[in-house]
Amino acid sequence: MFFLEKFVCLNFCNHSDFIVTICCNCFCILLNDLTCTSMNASCSFRESMASKVSSLQKVVQASNFLVKNGNIYYKQLVEQNKHHIQEPPTIEKCQTLAKQLFYTRLASIPGRYEAFWKEADSLKNALINRQELNVENAGLAALFGLECYAWFCGGEIIGRGFTFTGYYV
């Protein structure tokens, strides 16, 4: 369990051969088995902290990248998609749009219902007229069925938490 606190300057370990200092608005990760007291910290195991420092450096690099480039990316994204933005961009407008989307999709159910039955009738006619079925259409149907099965298996794997053997219980 990690506790994140913002410090101006804090020494993790104050040993002669292992001093880790994080200054100037960086994050300090206090571990359960690491006790920090006032501005000096005592550390009983240096190896654990050495591995945490390298991961902390990666976090700091990612954070710096986001600080430098996040605002630019946000502005580019908004500028490219400004034709999709509803004015004024308020919470009430978002709630109104969410309701419109829900009821629009609800209203589209009859049209999708008709399209489903047209496809089902087309499949039924193809099964009735099997004599007219050629190898190309049968191959396309087999590939479509295989693709549906692959998507099903992928969804099952994702639903199980990316395991192939079974569910975590």
Global pTM reads 0.40
CA dist 53 and 76 (Å) reads 34
What is the four-CA torsion angle of 65, 66, 67, 73, rounded to 10 degrees? 110
CA dist 127 and 120 (Å) reads 11
CA dist 64 and 61 (Å) reads 5
Q: Is the pLDDT of residue 21 over 60?
A: no
Residues 6+ apart with CB under 8 A from 11: 19, 20, 21, 39, 40, 41
What are the Cα distances from residue 142, in Å, to 59, 114, 121, 126, 156? 47, 25, 18, 14, 21
CA dist 25 and 28 (Å) reads 9
- Decide: residue 49, CB within 10 A, 0-12 exposed, 13-18 middle, 19+ buried: buried
Asked if 48 and 12 count as a contact pair (C-beta separation under 8 A), the reply is no
What pLDDT sits at residue 48?
Answer: 67
- Mean pLDDT of the residues in the chain: 75
Higher pLDDT, 162 or 35: 162
Q: What percent of the chain has pLDDT over 70?
A: 70
Q: Which helix (H) or strand (E) holds 152?
A: helix 135-159
Indicate the domain borders of the chain: 3-80, 91-159
Q: Is the pLDDT of residue 7 over 50?
A: no
Q: Is the pLDDT of residue 18 over 70?
A: no
What is the four-CA torsion angle of 160, 151, 153, 113, rounded to 10 degrees? 90
